[in-house]
Chains A and B, each alone.
Chain A
Amino acid sequence: MSAKRLSEGGRIDRSKRIRFQWDGRAMSGHPGDTVASALLASNEKVLGRSFKYHRPRGIMSCGVEESGAIITVGEGAKRDPNVKATMQELYDGLVASGQNAWPNVRTDVGSVNSLISQFLSAGFYYKTFMGLPPFETGKGTGIWMWYEKFIRKAAGMGRASREPDPDQYEHGHLFCDVLVVGSGPAGMSAALAAAEYGLDVILVEQDNELGGDLLGQKGSDIELRRTELVGALENAGVRIMTRTTAFGLYDYGTAGLLENVTDHLASPDPHLPRHRFWTLRARRTILATGGIERQIAFDNNDRPGIMNASAGRIYLNRYGVLAGEQVVVATNNDSAYRCAMDLSDAGAEVTLLDARAKIPGRLLELIGDRGITLMTNSAPLSAKGLNGVNSLEIAGGKAGGWRSKGKEVCDLLLVSGGWSPVVNLISHRGVRPVWNAENCCFIANEPHEGICMAGTAAGIWNTADCEDSGTAAGEAAAKALGKATGSGGASTSMPAVGGWDMPIKPLYEVRIDGRKSKALVDPQHDVTTEDIRLAHREGYVSVEHLKRYTTLGMSTDGGKMGNIIGLALMAEALGKEIPEVGTTTFRPPYTPVSIGALRGRSVDEHFRPLRRTPMHDWNLAHGATMTMAGLWHRPWYFARQGETITEAYIRETETTRKTVGLCDVTSLGKIAIQGPDATEFLNRIYTNPFAKLPIGKARYGIMLRDDGFVMDDGTTWRLSETDYFMTTTTAHAGKVMVWLEELLQTRWADLRVHVTSVSEQWAGCAVAGPESRTVLKNCVNDPSVMEDSAFPFMGVIETSLKGDIPCRIARISFSGEMAYEAYVPSDYAHALMEMLHPEAVAVDGCLYGLEALGALRIEKGHVTGAELDGRVTIEDAGLGKMASQNKSYIGSALRRRPDMTREDRPKLVGIFPVNRSEKFNAGTILCKKGEVSGLGEGWITGVTHSPALGHWIGIGFISGGHEAWSGKTATAADPVRSKEVQVEIVSPHMYDPSGERMYG
């Protein structure tokens, strides 16, 4: 036994026991534990296996930088891989397991990889599978695809659940004056200072408690100070968010926060989301994000039992776990001395290696007569022991390098290679951190976009200085926001960077030339010091390329653990200084964000908004099967007892052509166009003339885009001198509205026209078929308004239905039958259908849905959004005669460009199968007979069975149009379904081409 739980001390509640499972074995811990601290207390050494070499890994840190104890938490649908054991709070019944290992992390078959590790160096895959030298056999895309299958299988850390995520997630929005990230001494002081000026402050902490570094320090005075600050924050009204990570900073003081709501709970309230994704907008931001302790690269520096010095101290002081009994602490800076003291006081035998030759008296006083063996000018050289360190070979400094100077037996090695301020968030704003040579770290202390650094994040090491820097930052924020003015305010000055008794000694790697070593830089991705030197030898000079070639810093810790060492080694190899090499760019997120949190509630039926017409319930009550049309739910068909969809729509189509059909057309876009210049406006946006449209008449219109392609079609009704009612296709309703607003506000500001979307205000029903007039006649208050003479084709009336329901009706036809579209204010939608339906039934009419609507319009060759897809000219759509020669309109200049007027452009056509009993599919490509290749000569946009013609028909586009194909056979090819049908190309007007039925 080496690591053990002490009988007292720490922030855990020993009176309660929490039971959990680790790799199928029952374990226990206490409230306040993380999985890492509980496993450490149980002396579990190997908690993970590395990515490539399957090297045994233990706990390396106690924070978000963890690169060893990466585990899977939960089972089944709730299985969550790559959880840092150091961040996972313990709860009763938690199930955790190791990953990247078989059968388990302790005895892993995959560890044979470490025997062939010399072949798995940086760029291994690129090199090997680009061909095997000397003849480069096995080269090329085909062979790579073959290899890739196996590589993919071997790659990856952990396995995500393949089941749907059973948890809920939420999005939220926050606003505040000052956002403070991090609740160490600096963050709490900053929040307090800002709040004391009456500012609205939000303090965000990723941990479950406030305190930051104070939580890992020893002593009742420390805890007293912490509780005092927490109390003051609460009194000052600071909004405190724990278990919440600011994972990214964006423009205009926007921060992305991820709040962990239930990941620490054994049986959470089912109404609670698992995570909340907050978008926070702050006027000022203070980053008191602290620092992350660095490792030093030396042989086997990734063995279980080697961790950051600060982690050893925190496990002791916060979790009451003494991680080893014979401890070597290796450092190049002052910070590890406290660690050595605390562990020694807890009963460990401590040897302290300091890479620096001379130690100032104050530090010597600190360690005093505890019996700590201090070895100066010393550093770790090589760790021994496979599944747990058992001794350390020590290096002694000599001129220009290191020499071996003996062994020290130990069961725990704590390393401090210096501190890296967490500058990730400020880097998200495009700020390049600057190398501070004296303190061997990158800092980014220039205020930028109202963001200010404080505490260790600003390179300030002492607790007292950190508090002062926080206060100064809080006061500066208050001042910037117009508070803290005058002589009384903003009196604290920002302490200088640094604060150690003796400068840090730059030390990134300890090795002896010519001696083989396996020293890890990025332990998660198994990037070694040799990989970095190899990359340099192979010509990599840019740090960004180095990163991608070696995958340094691309693991789940995002380079928190190894980046600086990697840079230092690259700089050494290049013979440059670190600032000349530069650093890679940190990008969001700072720590992983669950996919669930990103999607929030936008999942399944909530993935996008749903639109229902005001007769939705009425349609359902009358047997509608619904389908999606854009965001709309529309009736698809109204099946009678035992009918299939095909039988239903064929009956609906036949009935409509024979008597009458009713169809909910509410989803069409409807726009009120009003004002003295409304006529002029319409005349400019439509290709056909609108200047002389009489009041009480409707006109079918086509509008083009600036570039001359068709934007949309629809009818526009003239209700009065200055009042028009425009309908658009369902698909383009939103786009047309935006376009009209743009024209009126940005181009034609002189036109006195208002456009208002009234799509929601009017519910519409198409009444189509020979009996349509009879039906409406029986519904209107005054039947005479429906007489043919009073209400001719393309006529418009505003009238009232029985019961004085206001109504506007136009005699327009999409079906090719005599037909009307009747609109009532939406609240009357139900009443409208209740009135129309019995009248339709009385003449043997029926309801019809989108499928029959499609059949009717395809028979007639009428276009919809499927045809008007943005690539079609007005001529392509067979509507060239609607382009006025006598006026200019939007698109008139560019629609005549040479390529848009070519004769061989794909043009709208009708399609018949040569063998009339055959069926074909929409989406099929049209090719010359027997020449099925490439994109073909055209495509099919819609297919239906035509009851009128008695066979399947289609609508689509083909090069040159139907005239060019007269007498020729084309092949409708469907390579996906391996189907080919020989077809005839005909005029798109496949039924009643002269339109006799429409004029009634």
Chain B
Amino acid sequence: MPRVTVQVRDAAGHTATATADYELRQPVLGGYYLSGGADPTADMAGGNFRSLTQYRSFADGYVFPGYNRPWLIDLGKAGVQMNMVLELKHYGAPNAGPQSFRVDVTDYTVPAPSMTIQQRPGTTWPKAYGYGQVLRGQCDGLLHRALAQYRFLGFGVNIQLASELDTDHEFGTTEDGKAYTWAESDARAVQAMNYILTWFKARTLPPNTTFSVGVAGFDRACFQRTHPEPLMSRLDFLQWNVYATAVGQTALSRFRRTKDWAAADLGPVALSRPAIIAEWGVRSAEIPDQPAWIATVPAAIAQLNAERGPRIARTNYFNSGWGTLSPKSAGLAALRTAYATRPYV
């Protein structure tokens, strides 16, 4: 922290000294995600894109950098800050059964995922490694496999455990035939996240490794349940996602919602952590002029960061799903302009 020192001196050499410390705020990092985890290099080229979100399942044998993703190493070595979302969720075929593999000199057999999440009625419920499985140590091999790959990556990343715990738990979860409510699922997830953090932090990690847990941030009670102070003391960032999906929703109101809940409900440790917006987007169906909406984001972030509560440190545009830029060229141009504007510079 820089310090300015004032000295007042009289003719006889008597002096008085006063000091004042100040902090220089780093620019907010403007970031991106391209649908399907595809190579975003071309979209980011020439723009002030300094942050990227990626998704991997612990079930996948290729977590770092990912299967056929050499570009991730290039971007990371070029200084793009990676937010790697590592999920217990199984992304589906081909290997939803048990897995046997060797990491370094250790042989592991990890059982098939035993939990279902995102149990929205009328949909096929995705499978995930269960919180009970994690706590019993049955997923240690998955953690070890990811860590072994991470150590070869060449740079530190933020590991975001889970994509959206609220989305995962909204309709309850089921593990080994036992149903858990939303709140029960949150409590079990916090235990499992703690287990995974303990596992990683007990081992040598690449420099600049940080951790967070993932939430969409649409439910206030869930947000509070999944951010207890003991867990936050082991995490480096808060995180939530931001979407505008209805007419009249402003950037300020959407980015503000979860932040205000955090400021009102969370403890001092949580509030000392900066926030990563792992996904943000504006849905063209309701808000066709995506570039106009995107243009309001820098001022909204600057205003929120001038208020009490966690500072938003990174915002990664989600060019997929709800955030799909259409037409892409106009949306990308708006993003480039926004990221060339304070507080992004």
- Say if A and B assemble together: no
